[in-house]
Structure formats: C-alpha cells, structure tokens
C-alpha cells in the first residue's frame, strides 16, 4: 500500500463528531454587481474532518472560503466560525479569529520581497510579540520540517518551484497553529507527482495538527484523496454533499456531467 | 437615438466613477490619519522605507540638482550682466533654488521614482493576493504597508529637498567660480542673505506636503490595483501622473498662502 493510500485510509477511519461543527453556514448569498455567485449555501464542517468543495471555475468556490475568513462580506446569511459570527466581528475580534484559521492561497501568495525564513517568521513575529529569536527560529524549523523543505530557509520565493511555493505557503499558515485550514486549489498548476505530494501533505497536516479543512478544488483526484466528504458547488448552490461514493452515485445530471467531463479529461 | 442614450449612460457612469473615486481617496486618507497614531507603529519598517526612499532617489537628485544649479546660473548671468547686477547672482540663485526649484525638482523626481515604485509594489502585492495573505494572517496590511510608506516619504522628501538645494547651490557656485574668483563661504552667505525664516519654513512645509502626496497617491493607486499585471502598470503610471498634478496645485496654493502671511 503506498503512503498516500495509507494516509487516506487513516483519514477516513477517523471518527467525526457530527455535533461538533467548527464552521456553520446557512442561507449564504453573495453577488458582485448583477452577478449572483452564491445563491443560498448551507454547509457544516465538523471538527477533525476534511471537506472538498468541488465545482467548475467561476462557481464561487473561492468566494465561499474568502467569506469564511472574513475577506469578503456576505450579502445575506449566517457564517459562524468556531462559534463566532464572522460578519459581525470587530476588526480586533476578527484578527483573533483569523489566527485560528489557516488560509493557503491558490498562487501561494508568498511575500516576494522576503526570503523563506522571513515569510514564515513574519506572521509569527507580528502576532506573538513576546517570542524571542530562538523561539521564532524553532517554530520556523518545525513547520519547514512538516512540509519537508528544511534546506530552503534562505531562498527567495522566485527561486522555488510551484510545488515548493505551495508547501511554503502551507507552512506559513501552520506556523500560527490553526484549528481550521482553508486550501484554495492546492493542486492547480502542478504535475501529477507534485499534486500527489501536496495531497499527502494535506493529510499529514490534518493528522499532525488535528485541523479541520475545507479544500477548494476542481481536481477529482485531490478531492477523493484528501477529504472525508465532498460538496458539489454548481451554479451557486451545493447540489450534493456526501462521501465520494455518495456524490459519485448521484442521479443529478449536472453532477454526473461534471464527473464525466473530469474523467474524460 | 441608441447612440445618444449610450453616450449619456457612459457620461453619467464616468461622472459617478469620478465622484466615488474622490470619496474613496478621501476615506483612504482619513484611514491613514486614524491608523497612523494607533499602536503598533512598525518603526523598523518606517526606517527601512526611509532608506528605500532616500537611497533610491539620492543619485538622481544629486545629478539633477547639480545640473539645475549650473543651468540656472548660466541662464541668469547674461540678463543680470545687461543691468550690471552680476553681484546679485548668488541671491537670485538662492531665492530661486531654496524657495522653488529645490523642493519642486525633488518632489517631481521622487514622484517619478518613489511614487511609481510604491504604486507598482503595492499593486503587484494586491494582484498576487499578498495583501490578502497579510490580512488572513491577522496583520493589518494598511498599517504595515501604507502608513509606514506614507510616513517615510513625508519625512524623507524634505531632507532630500534640502540636500538637492545645497547641491544645486554648489553647482551654481562652481559656475560662478569659473567665471570670477569667489570663495564658497561668501557665495553661500550671499545666497542666504535674502532668504527669510518664512521662506525656509514655507519650503519645509511644501516638501512635507509633497512627500505626503507622493506617498498617499502611490499607496492609494497600488492598494486598489485590479486587472492583473496590466493593473500594476496602470497603478504605477497613475501614481506618477496624479502625484505630479497635485504637486503643482499644492505649489500654487502654498505660495499663495505664504504671500498672504508675508
């Protein structure tokens, strides 16, 4: 059994407490001008589970996680993260909540004027002023070890490959020890081998840091191998939410068409 | 009929965008004043940015100031000679450089060099989601990126303007010295003889305002950049054009106020 299948099995065997939701969304609407992107989303993420949100480009997958982390404001609806109504928080309270959420960007969004060490140390030093240099160094080393890139400490982001940038981006979010991880297209633009490595890393992060994750993707392999549940977002609504097999076996024509197209691809 | 309606719609949309742009810029400036006096102050970043602004422009300001001094002296000498008033040359140069040319030349160079660089840097950070990344890491990007840069330009540009004026006067002295033997001390003394405290104060106030304008315009344009790499270029370009335009308007207003006070 290869490592990724083993990790996947371990992930699926974890018992999920369905009473204990870390993200709870109900009746969420969001539009940009005349374009209605989210049209009444209801969603729950339970503690310790990974949910992959699948859907075509432009269906509002990234908008959804940007609303969860408070980067965008919803037009209507309720978004409760770790017991807090995100859209009702003051800026200080929102920042306190954001420390508990890790956000991995599609293009990694590494600060290109800083090297890897500075990229990782920056969120830590800005949020935990009482840490000394040694403690910061240790934290940086720990997360670099977690993503397997201890030798890249002094490199600039422009010197890293796409996969390495994704790993450093994930390491930067891990340094604040988040309870929830939000991944925006973690495997986009990567070759199959690097994609598999990132999927493996997502599973390892969940095991090691005991996080709950939302993984935004249109990559079926990523969705299948990194999540306990799948949520199909099409035309602004979740058409089907369930395990991979439940979603795959659905009779919904749009969901079927999405799967068929991906398999042909 | 359809064309007329479309033109009317485009015109009203343009007017609407223009006024909402002014309102957005006002809010951005107000936010700067609200955040600038709140902790944390990011002093290390302010110092870094001061070095960035100073070092980036120093060579160009030295060269331009020196050339301005020489050219202005060369241009003024024949006119003064016609009236037999060449002894007034240092005073004339002093007034022109300290009161007008030094601050203005520095501001225009910095608008081009520093303003565009701030616009492009923040613009590229915006379109590559680096600003969002700061926000989700519970770091206030406005405070860390905008406030520090605006304070840096506001503090550094007066120093650069002062330096530019001295270099221009030195260029002028070399030109005067080539024509007639005179000591540098007596040249500088003559140049400053007609300069009052109000003139120096006006120059310093002017450069503080220019510095603030360059910083806030560069940050505003970069911070609100859209449309990917095209947007970054647009932000850098607009940062320069708008800052230069505002600098000329401010020059007129400040000179007018100084004249009223006098």
In chain A, which residues have their Cβ closer than 8 Å to the Cβ of B49? Answer: none
Cross-sheet strand order for the sheet of A180-184: A101-104, A180-184, A212-217, A50-54, A229-234, A237-242
Q: What is the DSSP string of chain B?
A: -HHHHHHHHHHHHHHHHHHHHHHHHHHHHHHHHHHHTSS---HHHHHHHHHHHHHHHHHHHHHHHHHHHHHHHHHHHHHHHHTT-GGGHHHHHHIIIIIIIHHHHHHHHHIIIIIHHHHHHHHHHHHTTHHHHHHHTT--HIIIIIIHHHHHHHHHHHHHHHHHHHHHHHHHHHHHHHHS---HHHHHHHHHHT--HHHHHHHHHHHHHHHHHHHHHHHHHHHT--SHHHHHHHHHHHHHHHHHHHHHHHHHHHHHHHHHH-
User: What's the CA gap between A94 and B135, in Å, rounded?
Assistant: 10
Please indicate, yes or no, if residue A169 is contained in any of the structural domains.
no
In chain B, which residues have their Cβ closer than 8 Å to the Cβ of A181? Answer: none
Burial class (CB in 10 A: 0-12, 13-18, 19+), A169: buried
Please indicate, yes or no, if residue A89 is contained in any of the structural domains.
yes
Tens-binned pLDDT, residue by residue, of chain B (262 aa): 556 666 666 777 778 888 888 899 999 999 999 999 988 889 999 999 999 999 888 999 999 999 999 999 999 888 888 888 888 888 899 999 998 999 999 999 999 999 999 999 999 999 999 999 999 999 999 999 999 999 999 999 999 999 999 999 999 999 888 888 778 888 888 888 888 898 899 999 999 999 999 999 999 999 999 878 888 999 999 999 999 999 999 999 999 998 898 7
Pairing between β-strand A212-217 and β-strand A50-54 as defined by DSSP bridges: parallel
User: What's the CA gap between B210 and B204, in Å, rounded?
Assistant: 10
Please indicate, yes or no, if residue A224 is contained in any of the structural domains.
yes
Give the residue on A whose Cα is nearest the Cα of B127. A109
Q: Evaluate if residue A48 carries a pLDDT over 80.
A: yes
Q: Can you give the pLDDT at residue A148?
A: 86
Q: Residue A28: helix, strand or coil by DSSP?
A: strand
User: What's the CA gap between B109 and B68, in Å, rounded?
Assistant: 13
Give the residue on B whose Cα is nearest the Cα of A120. B137
Number of domains in chain A: 1
Q: How confident is the model at residue A264 (pLDDT cuts 50, 70, 90)?
A: low
Measured between CA atoms, how close is A110 to chain B, in angstroms?
Answer: 6
Question: In this structure, what CATH number is given to the domain that contains residue A235?
Answer: 3.40.50.300
Residue ranges making up the domain that contains A71: 3-100+178-264
Please indicate, yes or no, if residue A134 is contained in any of the structural domains.
no
Please indicate, yes or no, if residue A7 is contained in any of the structural domains.
yes
Quick: pLDDT tens for A161-212.
988 999 999 999 999 999 999 999 888 888 888 888 888 888 888 888 889 9
Q: Any idea which residue has 């001390």 for tokens? A: B185
Is B133 within 8 Å of chain A by CB? Answer: yes
Q: Any idea which residue has 């104060």 for tokens? A: B201
Q: What is the model's pTM?
A: 0.86
Buried b (16+ CB within 10 A) or exposed e, A108-125: bbbbeeebbbbbbbbbbe
Interface ipTM: 0.86
User: What's the CA gap between B5 and B7, in Å, rounded?
Assistant: 5
Write the residue in B121, B132, B139 that is nearest to A109 by C-beta: B132
Is A123 in contact with B129 (Cβ distance < 8 A)?
no
Is B20 within 8 Å of chain A by CB? Answer: no
Please indicate, yes or no, if residue A247 is contained in any of the structural domains.
yes
Q: Residues with Cβ < 8 Å from A22, sequence gap 6 or more?
A: A45, A46, A47, A81, A82, A179, A180, A212
Is B136 in contact with A99 (Cβ distance < 8 A)?
no
Is B137 in contact with A110 (Cβ distance < 8 A)?
no
Measured between CA atoms, how close is A87 to chain B, in angstroms?
Answer: 14
Closest CA to B153 of B102, B116, B201: B116
Q: How confident is the model at residue A146 (pLDDT cuts 50, 70, 90)?
A: confident
Give the residue on A whose Cα is nearest the Cα of B144. A126
Instruction: Kindly state the DSSP code that residue A44 receives in the 8-state scheme.
Output: E
Please indicate, yes or no, if residue A243 is contained in any of the structural domains.
yes
Q: What is the DSSP string of A174-234?
A: HTT--SEEEEESTTTT--HHHHHHHHHHHHHHHHHH--EEEEEES-HHHHHHH-SEEEEEE
Please indicate, yes or no, if residue A161 is contained in any of the structural domains.
no
Q: What angle do CA A78, A96, A91 make, to 5 degrees?
A: 70
User: What's the CA gap between B233 and B237, in Å, rounded?
Assistant: 6
Q: Can you give the pLDDT at residue A1?
A: 45
Determine the distance from the C-alpha atom of residue A244 to the mean position of all C-alpha atoms in its chain, rounded to a whole number.
18
Is B130 within 8 Å of chain A by CB? Answer: yes
């Amino acid at each position: 059994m290869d490592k990724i299948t083993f990790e996947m099995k371990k992930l699926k065997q974890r018992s999920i407490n369905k009473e204990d939701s870390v993200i709870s969304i109900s009746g969420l609407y969001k539009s940009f001008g005349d374009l209605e992107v989210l049209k009444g989303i209801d969603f729950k993420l339970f503690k310790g589970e990974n949910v992959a949100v699948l859907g075509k480009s432009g269906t509002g997958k990234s908008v959804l996680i940007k609303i969860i982390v408070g980067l965008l404001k919803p037009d209507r609806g309720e978004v409760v993260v770790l017991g807090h109504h995100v859209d009702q928080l003051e800026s200080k309270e929102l920042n306190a909540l954001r420390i508990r959420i890790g956000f991995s960007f599609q293009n990694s969004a590494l600060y290109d004027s800083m090297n890897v060490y500075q990229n990782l140390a920056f969120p830590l030093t800005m949020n935990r002023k009482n840490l000394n240099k040694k403690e910061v160094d240790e934290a940086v080393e720990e997360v670099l070890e977690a993503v397997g890139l201890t030798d890249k400490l002094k490199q600039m982001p422009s010197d890293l490959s796409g996969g390495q940038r994704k790993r450093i981006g994930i390491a930067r979010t891990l340094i604040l020890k988040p309870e929830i991880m939000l991944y925006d297209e973690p495997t986009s633009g990567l070759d199959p081998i690097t994609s598999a490595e990132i999927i493996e890393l997502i599973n390892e992060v969940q095991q090691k840091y005991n996080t709950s994750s939302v993984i935004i993707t249109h990559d079926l392999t990523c969705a299948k191998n990194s999540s306990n549940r799948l949520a199909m977002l099409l035309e602004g609504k979740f058409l089907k939410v369930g395990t991979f097999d439940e979603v795959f076996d659905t009779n919904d024509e749009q969901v079927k068409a999405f799967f068929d197209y991906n398999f042909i691809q | 009929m359809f064309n007329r309606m479309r033109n009317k719609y485009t015109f009203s949309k343009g007017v609407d965008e223009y006024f909402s742009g002014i309102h957005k810029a006002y809010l951005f400036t107000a936010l700067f004043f609200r955040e600038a006096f709140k902790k944390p102050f990011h002093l290390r970043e302010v110092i870094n940015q001061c070095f960035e602004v100073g070092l980036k422009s120093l060579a160009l300001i030295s060269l331009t100031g020196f050339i301005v001094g020489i050219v202005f002296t060369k241009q003024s000498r024949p006119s003064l000679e016609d009236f037999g008033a060449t002894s007034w040359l240092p005073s004339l140069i002093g007034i022109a450089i300290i009161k007008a040319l030094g601050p203005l030349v520095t501001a225009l160079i910095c608008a081009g060099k520093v303003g565009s660089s701030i616009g492009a840097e923040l613009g590229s950070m915006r379109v590559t989601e680096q600003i969002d990344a700061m926000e989700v890491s519970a770091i206030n990007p406005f405070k860390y990126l905008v406030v520090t840069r605006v304070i840096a330009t506001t503090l550094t540009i007066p120093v650069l303007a002062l330096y530019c004026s001295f270099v221009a006067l030195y260029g002028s002295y070399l030109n005067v010295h080539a024509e007639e033997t005179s000591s540098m001390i007596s040249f500088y003394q003559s140049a400053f003889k007609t300069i009052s405290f109000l003139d120096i104060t006006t120059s310093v106030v002017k450069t503080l305002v220019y510095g603030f304008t360059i910083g806030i315009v560069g940050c505003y344009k970069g911070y609100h950049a859209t449309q990917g790499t095209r947007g970054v270029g647009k932000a850098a370009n607009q940062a320069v054009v708008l800052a230069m335009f505002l600098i000329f308007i401010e020059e007129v207003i400040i000179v007018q106020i100084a004249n009223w006070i006098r």
